[in-house]
Amino acid sequence: MSKASTLLQNEVGRRVLLLANESIARGVLEAGVRLVACYPGTPSSEIGNTLSQMSPSLENFYFEFSVNEKVALEVAGAAAVSGVRSMMICKGPGLNVAADPLLSLAYVGVRAGMVIVVADDPSMWSSQNENDSRYYALMSNTPMFEPSDPEESKSMLLQAYEISERLQLPVLLRTTTRVNHTRAPVELGPIRDRPDKVEFQKEPFRFVPIPSVARNRHLWLLGQIKVAQEISETTPLNFTVGQGKLGILTSGVSYCYVLESLASMNLNAEVLKLGMTHPVPERMLVEFMRRHRQLVVVEELEPFLETHARRLAQLHSVDVEIQGKEQGYFPRTYEYSPSIVRDGLRRCITGDTATDLQRTERTDTGLSSLPPRPPLLCAGCPHRATYYAIRTATKGKAIYPSDIGCYTLSISPPLETADLLFDMGSSITTACGIAQVTGQDVVATIGDSTFFASGLPGVANAVYNSHPVCIVVLDNRTTAMTGHQPHPGTGLTGMQQKVEPLDIATVCRGLGVKNVRTVRPFASLANLVKEVRELVSWVRNNRAPAVLVSIEPCALIAAAERARAGVRISPYYVDPETCTACKRCLNRLSCPAMYQDPESKKAMIDETMCNLCGVCASVCPQGAIRQKE
């Protein structure tokens, strides 16, 4: 039975081994959520993927992969305003995209429960920064819950909907990478019925925040967060465990590390664990600090709780020594581990403020270190051919703004076609800025999913302002980096329904781009180089944007389709008699399926990794790379 099928079962009391992300997906059913909208982003990806797989089997349920996080929040927010429970899912940086509607939604509020699941990514395993989304709770005046394991992820979600409806506010459920990807037994609860249709009740002087309305709603919001403050003081989500002279304040996965560290160090302490981290339970925290002369704050990323503790200690004249990031006892960057927490606690007790993260990490592993491996595009990735062509056509002299997704992997040698990156869709807009202040050729690359997410305004801006930029859309027919979710160009919805896909070339022409070409990168590498060269020349001569759409399915999709169809694999090989060991294929293509024979110094191909793109054969000047019969 698949995981999605298991989650659909109404077997109350059954314990199932689940990822926290899967536990949240199950919680959607138990909470009676009617609508979920998301934009895929690791570490939250499995929530949307699981709901999408479940959605065809659910009545009165709608799930969509929206084109970006702002749209997802607006879709889900409108559903909650209409009167049904809803959810929006994103990763930490995604909440930046959705910040604009979030702050207004807090002003107008919701009629039914709404939860925004945001997954922060300490250590940036798959993100461009270490967003700490707790500050969005502070800034928007919305309650925030922080689970520490898969069981809490579901139980807190259910309570978040209750609190949301009580306060008429959206509630943030913040997870972090280690929580999202931890698997643990979770007890299934009853599945709640979902309403079919509701009727939108007009209330413009609440839901249309013109200035006169917004001024009143801001006062209302401050009143609601005051009520939330009282809830935080009494909710069982905030509790203490243990006894001892030492007090420890913590939340999220750090709570698990604290308990493990105390046990391994044979150390006694009273631990205040906050599940509701905004608003913080001020009276509870002040009383906790008054019981201790020494308070250690253990939390990943920013000193959010630590700052609150220092503020409250000063405000209420509490004589307590607060130890945390401010004095260097705990690092402000990267993901914590039990060894980091143990080391921090030890140094708080001894007063040693010297931080040595490398030494700390070494104490946590008994395994030998693996050789470092730079991030690379997959073997057979169509982007490699396009980047090779871009670099060849421009001789490496153009400026190459990049974007969020697989494309950033082109930063490494020998492709070296990623010069600048801000955020989603920034490749096109930063290209506009560079083109206006330099005389250089600018070739921006962006993926198909990112194009629909945030690339469209950049294209419109380039057309309207006549920015001389080359835009290459790398269309691999999916949202590859987060796990192959669909987007408007794929022809599949989050409800698993086939629909008419949007054609990127047509969309660009509709936005006013005069020169739009489409190529297949595996058809002819020589032609691909020629197309890029002509694109750059046209932009230079016409002082206007032009678009090249390079279409080829993701290598992983192509391999899966071959396997499903039972296609016999005929991998490429290097003929050692013809190869002259010039290393052009190794030095200019950098396909992970290729390596150098240590004895002959000639190129070799690992047949188990070859994805049959054939680009290496096109690169070889000797014709030494061939496909087996």
Q: What is the pLDDT of residues 515-569, one digit of tens each?
A: 999 999 999 999 999 999 999 999 999 999 999 999 999 999 998 888 899 888 8
Neighbours of 331 (CB within 10 A): 17
pLDDT of residue 122: 96
51-107 pLDDT per residue, tens: 999 999 999 999 999 999 999 999 999 999 999 999 999 999 999 999 999 999 999
Rounded mean pLDDT of 385-391?
A: 96
Q: How confident is residue 629, by pLDDT bands cut at 50, 70 and 90?
A: confident
Looking at the DSSP assignment, which residues form a beta bridge with residue 185? 17
The CA–CA distances, whole Å, from 499 to 224, 490, 495 equal: 42, 9, 11
Distance CA 387, CA 367 (A): 37
Task: Inform me whether the pLDDT recorded for 274 exceeds 60.
Answer: yes
* β-pairing verdict for 183-187 and 15-19: antiparallel
| Interaxial angle between packed helices 150-167 and 211-234, expressed in degrees from 0 to 180 and rounded to the nearest 10 | 130
Task: Inform me whether the pLDDT recorded for 294 exceeds 80.
Answer: yes
Distance CA 470, CA 87 (A): 38
Distance CA 474, CA 86 (A): 33
pLDDT of residue 3: 81
Instruction: Kindly write down the DSSP assignment for every residue of 539-593, as one continuous string.
Output: HHHH-S-EEEEEE---HHHHHHHHHHHTPPP--EEE-TTT-----HHHHHT--TT
Strands (DSSP E) found in 289-397: 294-298, 321-323
CB 193 within 8 A of CB 139: no
DSSP structure class, residue 598: T
Distance CA 157, CA 134 (A): 17
CB 289 within 8 A of CB 320: yes
Distance CA 16, CA 543 (A): 60
Q: How confident is residue 356, by pLDDT bands cut at 50, 70 and 90?
A: low
DSSP structure class, residue 455: I
- Tokens 């390079």, residue located: 550
CB 215 within 8 A of CB 54: no
Find the angle CA(205)-CA(210)-CA(212) to the nearest 5 degrees. 75
- Tokens 């799930």, residue located: 63
Q: Tell me the CB-side half-sphere exposure of residue 193, using CA atoms within 13 A.
A: 3
Q: How many residues does the chain have?
A: 629
Q: What percent of the chain has pLDDT over 70?
A: 96
Q: How confident is residue 368, by pLDDT bands cut at 50, 70 and 90?
A: low
pLDDT of residue 349: 86
Task: Inform me whether the pLDDT recorded for 376 exceeds 90.
Answer: no
In 150-252, which ranges are continuous DSSP H helix?
Answer: 150-167, 177-180, 204-207, 211-234
Helix (H) or strand (E) holding 82: helix 69-82
Task: Inform me whether the pLDDT recorded for 354 exceeds 90.
Answer: no
